[in-house]
Amino acid sequence: MSKIGAHVSAAGGVENAPQRAHQAGCEVFQFFTRSPQGGKAPELTEAIIKKFKQNCKKYGFIEYYTHAPYFINLASTNNRIRYGSISVLRQELERSSKLGVKYLMAHLGSAREVGQTKGVKMCIEGINKILDGYKGSCQFLIEMSAGAGAIIGDEYEEISKITKGVKKPISVCFDTAHAFASGYDLSSEKAVKETFQKFDKIIGIGKLKLIHANDSKVELGSHKDRHEHIGRGKIGQIGFWAILRHPKLKKINLIIETPKASAKSDLNNIKILKNLRESKTKPCNQRKKK
């Protein structure tokens, strides 16, 4: 059965993330090991690593994930940005391995300066550099994008080309809001079935390791990254109910990155997903009021 959790704050130190995840009702969780906007990464001392793992054990967490910073661009023509991105992603894999993290996910960047074909090639080269000589336990995931502008990784074919071009095995994080914005329908049981059939055919369902469960504020194919609370967006509760029941997705965990409108937002969204997981009755897709 899929486990459900949220992206939680690691403010004050990564050792604080497990308690926050527990308070939000998480069964799994995701966090940043450093500021997503930039700056030097805080040192992960042996004491911090030990405390983090103790807290994970205390609150019963076996699986947890990290997200790379937002400034990554493996297709930049600026060598400082491109090679800085390669360095940061390698650092994050190493840091995550020390913490016992299962997967690190990242957006690959934009091909605006070079065009999609060259941008994809640069991403493949960059990931190969990142993984060259890497012996850690944390695995690298490409996070599917919403396709705004020339962002790389919004189409199955593009993701497949990258996973096949990288010398070492890498996998995929499927974001429901991003996929929906990229034109992959998830708003009905039939649509979910067709979307993941296509994923399996082009990428391979075995490469799907994690789902970011976010409703979408924007219409299908809008190519805008706008997350919404579960059941209040264009995907609706039926889509998530169908995902949680899909026979090939039952062991894929879900992480929400829904708006944090209040202290209870994560708790409420997780509760909705847990109820959908337990429900044997298909929900009405009527949008819930805010």
Q: What is the mean pLDDT of residues 183-190?
A: 98
| pLDDT value, residue 30 | 98
| pLDDT value, residue 280 | 83
Is 270:8 a contact under the CB 8 Å cutoff? no
Q: pTM (2 decimals)?
A: 0.96
| pLDDT value, residue 87 | 97
Asked whether the predicted pLDDT for residue 196 surpasses 90, the reply is yes
Buried b (16+ CB within 10 A) or exposed e, 218-248: bebebbebbbbbbbbbbbbbbbbbbbbbbee
Instruction: Give the Å distances, CA to CA, from 4 to 48, 68, 271.
Output: 26, 20, 9
The percentage of the chain sitting over the pLDDT mark of 90, rounded to a whole number, equals 92
- pLDDT (tens digit per residue) in 258-280: 999 998 999 999 999 999 999 98
User: Can you read off the two tokens belonging to residue 15?
Assistant: 């050792």
Q: At what angle do helices 156-165 and 116-131 cross, to 10 degrees?
A: 40
Rounded Cα gap, residues 230 and 121, in angstroms: 36
- pLDDT (tens digit per residue) in 48-88: 999 999 999 999 999 999 999 999 999 999 999 999 999 99
Is 150:116 a contact under the CB 8 Å cutoff? yes
| pLDDT value, residue 19 | 98
Asked whether the predicted pLDDT for residue 286 surpasses 60, the reply is no
Q: What is the mean pLDDT of residues 206-232?
A: 97
Q: What is the mean pLDDT of residues 20-36?
A: 97
* Cβ contacts of 84 within 8 Å, gap of 6 or more: none
Q: What is the mean pLDDT of residues 101-122?
A: 96
| 287 — pLDDT class (breaks 50, 70, 90) | low
C-alpha torsion 141→266→14→108, nearest 10: 30
Class of domain 4-170+194-212+259-268: alpha beta
Task: Give, for 67, the enclosing helix (H) or strand (E).
Answer: strand 64-67
Q: Which of 62-66, 144-148, 161-165, 247-251 has the lowest mean pLDDT?
A: 144-148
Question: For residue 206, what is the DSSP state?
Answer: G
Buried b (16+ CB within 10 A) or exposed e, 271-281: ebbeebbeeee
| pLDDT value, residue 289 | 45
- pLDDT (tens digit per residue) in 160-175: 999 999 999 999 999 9
Rounded Cα gap, residues 229 and 288, in angstroms: 9
Is 117:51 a contact under the CB 8 Å cutoff? no
Asked whether the predicted pLDDT for residue 290 surpasses 50, the reply is no
In a 10 Å sphere around its CB, with 0-12 CB exposed, 13-18 middle and 19+ buried, how is residue 173 labelled?
Answer: buried
